[in-house]
Amino acid sequence: MRLLHVHSGNLYGGVETILTTLARFSANRLEHHFALCFDGRVAQELRRLEANVVQLGAARTRHPLALLRARRRLRRVLDDDDFDAVACHMPWAQAIFGPVVRRAGIASIFWMHDTSSGGHWLERWARRTPPDLAICNSVFTAASLPRLYPNVPGEVWYPPVTPCACSGGENRRAVRAELATPADAVVILQASRFEAWKGHREHLAALASLRHDPRWFCWLAGGGDTAKYEAELRDMAAQLGIVSRIRFCGFRRDVRRLMAAADIYCQPNTAPEPFGLAFAEALSAGLPVVTTAMGGVVELVDSSCGVLLPGSDPAALASALRRLIDDAALRSVLGRNGRARVLRLCNVDDQMARIDGIVGRLGRDYRAAGS
């Protein structure tokens, strides 16, 4: 079985992490191939993993000729190779390349990484070419599938998460030294894109009420178009009197290494995550998670492995952090439970076998229907 993934490839976040994970752990029965429009970090990572990567060209919706060239390039790829199914990731790829896949007579998958309102212009464009199947990254995401494709069946598939391989006292000491953090500090980590809805301001406001407790330090890691937003957060931390205990780590390729050296993962979102890969990785690293009870995160985090807050409430957030700072034994219990929970939900072997089965059934059904 051979599955071609079609994606823009110009960013690097949860979607791209999933693609590289699929390439890294491809099972013998299902081969994962990749067609990307932009030659960015994800293309580099995939080539490093010796995956088959095709460049379709820098397609942009405002450049019709570039779109046409990318579509023609994909059609040549599909004509020259034998794929059992093609998966378009996100509405952008489905809108632009879905018709090419349909005309080629190959089973079509829409990989749904975010919820749909059904009203965005890209979604309306994508709706013109319904896929044969949607793969959704959470039950929360799947609930919005009918707004986009009312008659398309969906499968919920949690992205696989590898166990954290950076644990150990040596890594912990090295990271803390690198980030000028005391060895005995209780480190609270947030690793997310620098966007306001990820709750950085709420996080800092909660920490401000704990500023007289000398035990904690906070690491804020993340990428994106961050300069203005990060400057605002730095100013906020200074005004709150906690800037000396906040480490702005910038974009990091070694987030798992930071997680292995931290003690608590805190990300108080003010809007729902479709899934929340960073939360799954934090659980895998044995970190208790503090976040807001909304979106796909509630499928990952429960009271056995973290604290779910009912809403955006810095006082409640501060109380939860204070409790975890005070109680190392509780952090340890929640961390062990988190490892076990993510192993059940996102086990690499189980999830890779499951995606093999999903694509295999779709391919067989599609061929049977066409025979």
Q: What is the pLDDT of residue 163?
A: 83
User: How do the domains of the chain map onto residue ranges?
Assistant: 2-160+347-370, 169-346
Angstrom distances, CA of residue 305 to CA of 43, 132, 166, 218: 35, 37, 20, 20
Q: What per-residue confidence (pLDDT) applies to 253?
A: 87
Per-residue confidence (pLDDT) for residue 12, from 0 to 100:
85
Q: How confident is the model at residue 365 (pLDDT cuts 50, 70, 90)?
A: confident
Q: Inform me whether the pLDDT recorded for 81 exceeds 50.
A: yes
- pLDDT at residue 371, rounded to an integer: 45
Q: Is residue 285's pLDDT more than 90?
A: yes
Quick: pLDDT tens for 330-341: 999 999 999 999
| pLDDT over 90 percentage in the chain | 87
Which residue is listed with tokens 């986009």? 148
Q: Do domains 2-160+347-370 and 169-346 have the same CATH topology?
A: yes
Residue 297 has pLDDT above 90, yes or no: yes
Q: What mean pLDDT, rounded, does the chain reach?
A: 94
Lowest-pLDDT range, 163-172, 258-267, 327-336?
A: 163-172
What is the assigned CATH class of domain 2-160+347-370? alpha beta
> Any idea how long the chain is?
371
Model confidence over 213-246: pLDDT tens digits?
999 999 999 976 678 899 999 999 999 999 999 9
Using alpha carbons, list the distances in angstroms from residue 16 to 6, 11, 76, 217, 226.
Answer: 11, 8, 24, 30, 19
The mean pLDDT of 273-285, rounded to a whole number, is 96
Q: Which of 248, 244, 238, 233 is nearest to 202 (CA)?
A: 233
pLDDT, residue 27, reads 66
Predicted model pTM: 0.93
- How confident is residue 167, by pLDDT bands cut at 50, 70 and 90? low
Amino acid 134: pLDDT: 98
What is the pLDDT at residue 13? 84
Q: Residue 302 to residues 281, 283, 292, 317, 330: CA-CA distances in angstroms?
A: 15, 11, 11, 16, 14
Mean pLDDT of 340-344: 96
179, 247 contact by CB (below 8 A): yes
* DSSP track, 208-260: HTTTT-TTEEEEEE--SS-HHHHHHHHHHHHHHT-GGGEEEEES-S-HHHHHH
Q: Give φ, ψ of 165 to 5 degrees.
A: -100, 10
Q: With 90 as the cut, is the pLDDT of residue 115 above it?
A: yes
Phi, psi of 131 (to 5 degrees): -80, 175
Domain 169-346, CATH homologous superfamily name and number: Glycogen Phosphorylase B; (3.40.50.2000)
Q: Is the pLDDT score of 26 beyond 90?
A: no
